[in-house]
Amino acid sequence: MADRPAAVLRFYEELNDFLPEERRKRDFPVEVDRARSVKDAIESVGVPHTEVDLVIVDGRSVDFTHLLRGGERVAVYPMFERLDIAPLVRLRPRPLRDPRFVADTHLGKLARHLRMAGFDTLYGNDWDDDHIVALSGAQRRTILTRDKGMLRRREVERGYFVRSVESESQLAEVVRALQLESLIVPFVRCRECNTPLEDVPREAVLDRLPEKVRASYDRFKRCPGCGRVYWEGTHFRRMKGLLERARAQDSAP
């Protein structure tokens, strides 16, 4: 290894999640042979390029195609890192003031939570990776996945690797990581089919409601997609609490 050209890489913040313990938060060499793109060098150590927002080589921001020839110092920053790096080159357009998602097959509960928070989220329990990646590209949707391999695919531009395992923690994590907190609008979208809900007069749904609900609630929404009726019941309050907790975590330092 002594004679082969190498660049020294260092990863910041949550990008370290992808590295083995001995490489976290410290400099380490990566061989570059005669020339190797920054993107290739980064992915060779297991960090998906979709997680990277900024690469600094010897003090200068570069794009993914920048070639390393050996001897460089490379600092790699995550997407959505909150440092003020506006003057530097970002590797892709700023995310998404109208964020839209496609969730992988393991994230059905998270998809429903996101819909309840108002976010357009596609999900199918039998979708394969190709389909998810194609949807992401065609509709500019951010892929949410627990599969790092999917995010390493060349054609993926927008993706987020979900660290948490439990669905409510996943919601809080995604809200925090993608800075969605001010964009939450609860109960405007069907949690089962993603269709925007419409207001519906009480009389129109009365015969479909359980006795207790009929007696206790006045305001209802209906999904024009699947016909489900929503009201501000127990589930509504539970979800509201969950969203408030996600927001509160988001505003924590």
174 vs 179: CA distance, rounded Å: 8
Site string for Zn ion, 198-227 (x = CB under 5 A): -------------------------x-xx-
**Closest separation in Å from C-beta 191 to Zn ion:** 8
Smaller CB distance to Zn ion: residue 118 or 225?
Answer: 225
Taking alpha carbons only, the member of 187, 219, 215, 188 closest to residue 202 is 219
Smaller CB distance to Zn ion: residue 27 or 192?
Answer: 192
Smaller CB distance to Zn ion: residue 11 or 101?
Answer: 101
Residues in the interface with Zn ion (CB under 5 A) total 7
Residue 196 binds to Zn ion (criterion: CB under 5 A): no
Contact 174, 144 (CB under 8 A): yes
**Closest separation in Å from C-beta 194 to Zn ion:** 7
Within 8 A by CB and 6+ apart from 21, the residues are: none
13 vs 33: CA distance, rounded Å: 28
Please, what is the Cα angle at 147 between 142 and 148, to 5 degrees?
Answer: 85
**Phi-psi region at 219: left, alpha or beta (left = phi > 0; alpha = psi -120 to 50):** beta
Say if residue 22 is exposed, middle or buried (CB neighbours under 10 Å; 0-12, 13-18, 19+): exposed
**Closest separation in Å from C-beta 148 to Zn ion:** 32
Site string for Zn ion, 155-194 (x = CB under 5 A): -----------------------------------x-xx-
Smaller CB distance to Zn ion: residue 37 or 195?
Answer: 195
Smaller CB distance to Zn ion: residue 35 or 226?
Answer: 226
Give me the residues that bind Zn ion (CB under 5 A), please.
190, 192-193, 195, 223, 225-226
